[in-house]
Amino acid sequence: MIQSLKGMKDLLDADGKLYERVIECASRVARLYGYSFILTPHLEAVELFKRSVGESTDIVGKEMYEFYDKSNKQVALRPEGTAGVVRAYTGAKLDKMGSTRRWFYHGSMFRYERPQLGRLREFHQFGVECFGVKSVYEDATVILMLRQILNELGIKASLHINSLGCKVCMSSYRELFLSFIKGKKGFCKDCEHRALHNPIRMLDCKEQACKELLVGAPKMSECLCKECKKDYETLQSLLKGEEFICDDTLVRGLDYYSKTAFEFLSDELGAKAAVAGGGRYDKLVGMLGSKEGYGLGFAIGVERICHILKQRQSETKTPLVYLCALDECFLPELFELAGRIRQFKSCILSYECKKLKKAMSAAALEGACLFVCKGEDEAKDELFYKDFNSGVSAKLSTDELLALIKELG
């Protein structure tokens, strides 16, 4: 039998439903903030990601699916969505016109990583990108939009923010950081490489030895220029209704950020992991376009959100009603009842009449929360029900049963 590739998953039944739910919720909220849908290709020129995400990042340096197509052009499956959307914006010359655009997208991203919980080789992101807006108010707005999406989905995650400064303050921070690490020995191989190409990225290293060597490193927030400092303070004041952590070590795994960077972290994924992240990338718009531009956004890891939601679902059974006639003569009555229940709750009717015990195990197998049946033991307007969550069972009239089902969470 041909199996799916390592780190690539089919989304069947409940997984497919959860995926739809996340995308539907995120798209609806994004529209409330003035964002509209954009679709860009999965396959792009390798150069796009090298220039935007950065050659020294793990995403481009180690994890990209890249190959030569039939006309010998070097192409890559997109490891993330931002670069393609910026290419679409600058390609349409919208940057030249100074146009504002607010777009959202969702779809597959590809990273050749070691598959584990919450880490796939083909995964899905829901992302938003906003162009042409310089104000830090928009930075606060996209963070609040992301918080709203997570809240509506019932995801608890802690917000970490940082400012990565601009060209001016970042280069003086880089000098300071380089003099701090000078002479220090014992960094991992990756950090030795980062020290040469992008030293700030060392702050993101997960190796304990590297973390210890960086204790006492100069803080980015203390090196910001006047404008970046003011924007960072404004951002914090705009988020004052939210709980957040100012995290000087938050550098993100992609090179294109400047000023605002943020992540939402959850500990419902085994180890603490990001369910979403983003930031401002003005220099990238300038780099791929012809003049200085403004861009910012975020992306949500859809599978990570689905994993959290699924865990919760298995803790409390879904409010699904399962109906079964114990004798064929009751089927028309239950058929009609199923129609009434479906006006407000999901419901399955078995067309096959079964004995009580068999019918109940079929209902449990379907993940039902409430089992309802009718047999010879029930009076004319009477039905038998069992609530699988509470274990309660009784006989009720149709109206009583409908009232009870309405109450189900």
List of residues contacting ligand HAM (CB under 6 A)? 80-82, 111, 113, 118-120, 123, 125, 127, 129, 253-254, 274-279, 297-299, 301, 303-304
The H or E element containing residue 340 is helix 331-341
H or E stretch at 349 = strand 347-350
Provide the minimum distance between the beta carbon of 129 and ligand HAM in the complex, in angstroms, as a whole number.
5
CB of 195 to ligand HAM, least distance (A): 22
Q: Which is nearer to ligand HAM, 120 or 368 (CB)?
A: 120
Are 392 and 401 contacting, i.e. CB atoms less than 8 angstroms apart?
no
Give the number of residues written for the chain. Answer: 409
Whole-number Å distance between alpha carbons of 376 and 91: 72
Comparing every residue's Cβ against ligand HAM, the nearest one is: 301
Q: Which is nearer to ligand HAM, 297 or 369 (CB)?
A: 297
Tokens of 349: 């009717």
Residue 314 CB, shortest distance to ligand HAM, in Å, is 20
Nearest to ligand HAM of 239, 324 (CB atom) = 239
- Return the number of the residue (284 or 323) whose C-beta is nearest ligand HAM: 284
Cβ atoms < 10 Å from Cβ of 373? 25
Residue 318 identity (one-letter amino acid): T
Q: Which CB atom, from 123 or from 187, has the smaller least distance to ligand HAM?
A: 123
Report d(CA 360, CA 364) in Å as an integer: 6
Output 264 or 322, the one with its CB closest to ligand HAM.
Answer: 264
Q: At its nearest, how many Å lie between ligand HAM and the CB of residue 111?
A: 5
In the complex, least distance from residue 259 CB atom to ligand HAM, rounded to whole angstroms: 12
Minimum Å distance from CB 256 to ligand HAM?
Answer: 8
Shortest distance in whole angstroms from residue 323 CB to ligand HAM: 39
Residue reference for tokens 């009449």? 353
By beta-carbon proximity to ligand HAM, the closer residue of 101 and 386 is: 101
Pairing of strands 158-163, 244-246: parallel
Q: How far is the CB of 126 from ligand HAM (least distance, A)?
A: 9
- For residue 203, what are the CA distances in angstroms to 113, 159, 194, 251? 20, 18, 10, 7
Q: Is 371 left (phi over 0), alpha (psi -120 to 50) or beta?
A: beta
The token duo for 215 is 């204790």
Sign of the C-alpha dihedral, residues 286, 91, 39, 121?
A: negative
Q: Identify the bridge partners of residue 163 per DSSP, sorted by sequence position.
A: 260
Is the Cβ of residue 81 or residue 132 nearer to ligand HAM in the bound state? Answer: 81
State the Cα–Cα distance between residues 255 and 57, nearest whole angstrom: 7
The answer to whether 119 and 135 have CB atoms below 8 angstroms apart is no
